[in-house]
Amino acid sequence: MKARIDAWLWSVRVYKTRSEATTACRAGHIRVNGDPVKAAYAIKPGDNVRIRRHGFDRHLQVVKPLVKRVSAQVAATAYIDHTPERTKPAIPAVPVRPRGSGRPTKKERRQMDQLRASWVPSVENIEDLDLS
């Protein structure tokens, strides 16, 4: 038994609509056995389907080609999910700005203001400065 890849993706509830599945095939996000396929590609049991969606890959093995939309329990038996566990990328909570680059932060501006306020030029200080 064979089924179109776009109809199968819709029937096993990978995509909400068949047109969404067709668009994904056109964009090259669907691969069967490593090759990008068109929406009319006929899948058979044993095919490995890789779906690129939301920045992650899903790896499914076709067990039963379905053409009609079925319940979620039946749809779950139509494939074997070989998707690797998702790992969260190591992104720092707050980006660190190198000191001295760009506009000073509020904290740095306060420190500069305190430094300027604490140093009051006087006649003695001006004589010590080398202005040449």
Quote the strand ranges of 1-132, DSSP E: 3-4, 30-32, 35-36, 42-43, 48-53, 56-62, 79-81
CB 21 within 8 A of CB 85: no
Along the 132 residues of the chain, how does pLDDT read in single tens digits?
889 999 999 999 999 999 999 999 999 999 999 999 999 999 999 999 999 988 889 999 999 999 899 999 999 999 999 998 877 766 666 667 676 677 888 988 898 888 888 766 665 656 666 665
Give me the domains of the chain, ranges plus CATH numbers. Answer: 3-81 (3.10.290.10)
Alpha-carbon distance 113 to 21, whole Å? 60
DSSP bridge partners of 4: 42
